[in-house]
């Protein structure tokens, strides 16, 4: 990374230490990002809009004292920037920041500048763009969809978010954190904003165009809480896997941020990645309120509702009780479908809040445990789950089923290590097999994992690469026990839960990265062949077939799909492979073989309505099979579109 110390023309103070990066590599290219038009011109409109919306009175500028403060390094490796500091502890960046919202973000940016430049912000800012290009390509249709996502979804969400933030805190700049992080790192504010808006933009797009399956496949997350007669000492345990399509980026620099505001608001902490300053994904405040977010696919979306990343942060900063958290969530309907797993550890109260653009419902815990995955369960919300395909529906229920079963199997002896083993579990409850994917709690995109023991004032945070829940966990203090001037890294012990992955897992993940992030199907095929050589999981064969089609290696695709279609271990993958294989046969004129494949799908009671309908249409009309007519969803070992975007 090239670092240039430059004068900050925007700050007006004449001094600014800003990181300037070399032109991005192709893997981190900002071309095609939200805000680019069909000619891939520089996103001037987006940048002007951000400047106008988030700097109505004046652009937030770093104080002269901040700009002049040096970063120093102690003998033990602790980096300091004024009262803020960061130290690496067993692979986890432990970061303490204090000040107003702008200052804390600025401190984050200065102390972790190199990690942020090499981490996940740029990749996260492309989540919606990658999803669009992966499904419909980079041509005219892709450009049109990206324009729509930028101007008709993200832009409107931002305007709503700004109005809402100014209503509840008129004394504060709505995105002070984004400006502080930008000033410290030199990363554009629009990139930081798009990194936060990307997942929700993609979910709104999917909700609006679900019949075309243009947009993002849903992410996965698993949360649970157990207490009373479910745990060894009766005390509360909380487990959380954050599953996010940012392999190799989000998990590269795991970070725990302790925030001590001086401008009002509570102290809180978040388990995150370098550069992700917002605490709304998984956080805990000094009053014992914990929350973690989950995507839920739905058509109940609206671009004129709030970006959800503003909501969780507000809960952590201002709520003291469960009732106060609920009041905020009810008042803060988001643009897309989400669930918040909320625990008031002091009140011993747990619930899932199910949120969409026009409704919020609460699902209270019963018994001595509670699990949240990626579907709604309240009577009012359950009918509005979007059936992306049968695999998505099965996967979220499988993870819930498996977590509930493992809590019960602990027979009242669940402890922190046992909670880690639940988060690292690789068993598909439908087949009973250890799997690469799907239906497993630990998945290829598990990029962050934590176990919270509030009574012990400890959180255990997993280190290493995805699936991170298979790795060691580092014990850190919760925010109510954290003393920044007395932090003792030597007391941060590690626990190895003994969880193990599958033989082909890392090669499968490498194939997913190549296919999903780089749109490099040839590289994906190479990695998937490596995975298949050591692992006979039908999921690998299916994704290999899909990747081979993307790069027009038809013979290899047919061989892999035949293997997946003829196996008996995974009936869901067998049906999907039969359909795609039938499309391959039809494409090369083998219509009898094609019809036999489609008949196998339509006669399969477990194939799922969307796949059966696609097979019935394909049987009536044999069509050419273009490389993007079937869009793979590699992390679920499936496809989320079985036909071209226009049928």
Name, of 200-204, 263-267, 350-354, the range with top average pLDDT. 350-354
Give the start-to-end residue ranges of the domains of the chain: 505-641
Taking phi first (over 0 means left), then psi (-120 to 50 degrees means alpha), and beta for anything else, what does residue 6 get? beta
Say whether pLDDT at 590 is over 90: yes
* pLDDT, position 62: 56
* pLDDT, position 10: 32
* pLDDT, position 646: 65
Count Cβ neighbours within 10 Å for each residue of 81-96 and write b for 16 or more, e otherwise.
bbbbbbbbbbbbbbbb
Average of pLDDT values for 266-277?
96
Would you place residue 209 in the very low, low, confident or very high pLDDT band (cuts 50, 70, 90)? Answer: confident
Average of pLDDT values for 205-217?
76
On whether the CB atoms of residues 110 and 17 are closer than 8 A, the answer is yes
CA count, 13 A, side-chain hemisphere, 317? 19
Residue (of 422, 439, 114) closest to 252 by Cα position: 114
- Here the tokens at position 506 are 């890392």
Would you place residue 442 in the very low, low, confident or very high pLDDT band (cuts 50, 70, 90)? Answer: very high
State the greatest distance between any 2 C-alpha atoms of the chain, in Å, as a whole number: 76
Average of pLDDT values for 193-207?
90
Would you place residue 310 in the very low, low, confident or very high pLDDT band (cuts 50, 70, 90)? Answer: confident
Q: How many residues does this entry show for the chain? A: 647
Q: Measure the CA–CA gap between 449 and 430, rounded to whole angstroms.
A: 24
For the segment 125-160, what is each residue's pLDDT rounded down to a tens digit? 988 888 888 878 888 888 999 999 999 999 999 888
* pLDDT, position 49: 52
User: pLDDT over 90 for what percent of the chain?
Assistant: 70
Which contacts (CB < 8 Å, 24+ apart) does range 561-566 have? 563/538, 564/538, 565/597, 565/600
Say whether pLDDT at 170 is over 80: no
What residues are paired with 359 via a beta bridge? 356
Superfamily of domain 505-641: Tetratricopeptide repeat domain (1.25.40.10)
* pLDDT, position 191: 92
Average of pLDDT values for 498-503?
96
Say whether pLDDT at 34 is over 70: no
Stretch (H or E) spanning 418: helix 416-423
Which residues have C-beta within 8 Å of that of residue 227, sequence separation ≥ 6?
Answer: 234, 235, 236, 237, 348, 350, 368, 369
- β 72-73/289-295 pair status: unpaired
For the segment 217-240, what is each residue's pLDDT rounded down to a tens digit? 677 899 999 999 999 999 999 999
Say whether pLDDT at 626 is over 70: yes
Would you place residue 1 in the very low, low, confident or very high pLDDT band (cuts 50, 70, 90)? Answer: very low
Least confident of 60-69, 267-276, 381-390: 60-69
If you average pLDDT over every residue of the chain, what do you get?
88
Say whether pLDDT at 100 is over 80: yes
Would you place residue 47 in the very low, low, confident or very high pLDDT band (cuts 50, 70, 90)? Answer: low
Cα–Cα distances in angstroms (integers) from residue 161 to residues 154, 169, 303, 596, in the given order: 10, 12, 10, 52
Output 350 or 162, whichever has higher pLDDT. Answer: 350
For the segment 574-589, what is each residue's pLDDT rounded down to a tens digit? 999 999 999 999 999 9
Say whether pLDDT at 174 is over 80: no
Say whether pLDDT at 524 is over 50: yes
């Amino acid at each position: 990374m090239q670092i240039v110390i430059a004068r900050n023309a925007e700050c007006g103070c004449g001094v600014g230490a800003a990181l300037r990066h070399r032109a991005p590599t192709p893997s981190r290219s900002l071309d095609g990002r939200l805000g680019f038009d069909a000619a891939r011109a520089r996103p001037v409109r987006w940048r002007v809009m951000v400047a106008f919306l988030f700097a109505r009175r004046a652009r937030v500028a770093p104080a002269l004292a901040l700009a002049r403060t040096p970063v120093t390094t102690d003998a033990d490796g602790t980096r300091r920037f004024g009262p803020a500091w960061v130290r690496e502890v067993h692979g986890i960046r432990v970061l303490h920041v204090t000040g107003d919202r702008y200052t804390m973000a600025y401190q984050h940016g200065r102390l972790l500048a190199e990690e942020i430049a090499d981490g996940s912000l740029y990749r996260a800012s492309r989540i919606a763009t990658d999803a669009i290009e992966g499904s419909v390509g980079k041509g005219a249709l892709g450009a049109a969809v990206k324009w729509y996502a930028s101007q008709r979804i993200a832009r409107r969400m931002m305007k709503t978010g700004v109005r809402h933030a100014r209503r509840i805190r008129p004394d504060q700049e709505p995105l002070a954190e984004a400006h502080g992080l930008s000033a410290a790192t030199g990363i554009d504010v629009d990139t930081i904003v798009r990194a936060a808006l990307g997942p929700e933009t993609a979910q709104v797009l999917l909700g609006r165009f679900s019949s075309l399956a243009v947009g993002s496949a849903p992410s996965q997350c698993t949360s649970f809480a157990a207490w009373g007669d479910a745990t060894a000492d009766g005390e509360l345990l909380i487990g959380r896997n954050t599953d996010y399509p940012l392999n190799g980026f989000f998990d590269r620099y795991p970070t725990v941020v302790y925030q001590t505001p001086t401008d009002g608001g509570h102290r809180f902490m978040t388990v995150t990645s370098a550069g992700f300053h917002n605490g709304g994904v998984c956080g805990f405040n000094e009053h014992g309120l914990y929350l973690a977010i989950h995507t839920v696919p739905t058509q109940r979306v609206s671009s004129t509702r709030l970006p959800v990343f503003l909501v969780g942060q507000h809960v952590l900063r201002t709520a003291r009780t469960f009732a106060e958290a609920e009041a905020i969530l009810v008042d803060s309907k988001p643009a897309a479908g989400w669930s918040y797993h909320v625990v008031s550890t002091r009140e011993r109260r747990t619930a899932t809040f199910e949120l969409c653009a026009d409704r919020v419902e609460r699902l209270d815990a019963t018994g001595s445990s509670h699990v949240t995955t990626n579907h709604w369960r309240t009577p009012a919300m359950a009918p509005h789950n979007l059936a992306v395909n049968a695999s998505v529906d099965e996967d979220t229920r499988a993870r819930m089923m498996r977590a509930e079963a493992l809590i019960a199997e602990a027979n009242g002896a669940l402890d922190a290590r046992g909670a880690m083993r639940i988060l690292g579990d690789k068993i598909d409850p439908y087949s009973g097999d250890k799997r690469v994917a799907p239906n497993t709690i630990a998945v290829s995109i598990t990029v962050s994992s934590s176990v919270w023991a509030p009574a012990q004032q400890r959180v255990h945070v997993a280190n290493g690469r995805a699936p991170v829940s298979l790795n060691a966990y580092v014990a850190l203090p919760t925010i109510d026990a954290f003393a920044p001037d007395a932090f003792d890294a030597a007391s941060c012990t590690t626990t190895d839960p003994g969880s193990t992955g599958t033989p082909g897992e890392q090669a499968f993940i490498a194939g997913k990265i190549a296919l999903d992030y780089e749109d490099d199907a040839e590289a994906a095929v190479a990695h998937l062949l490596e995975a298949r050589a050591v692992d006979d999981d039908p999921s690998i064969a299916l994704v290999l077939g899909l990747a081979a089609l993307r790069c027009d290696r038809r013979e290899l695709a047919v061989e892999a799909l035949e293997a997946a279609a003829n196996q008996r271990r995974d009936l869901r993958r067998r049906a999907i492979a039969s359909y795609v294989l039938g499309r391959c046969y039809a494409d090369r004129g083998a219509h009898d073989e094609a019809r036999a494949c489609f008949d196998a799908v339509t006669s399969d009671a477990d194939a799922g309505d969307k796949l059966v309908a696609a097979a019935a249409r394909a049987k009536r009309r044999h069509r050419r099979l273009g490389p993007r007519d079937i869009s793979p969803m590699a992390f679920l070992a499936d496809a989320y579109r079985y036909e071209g975007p226009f049928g």
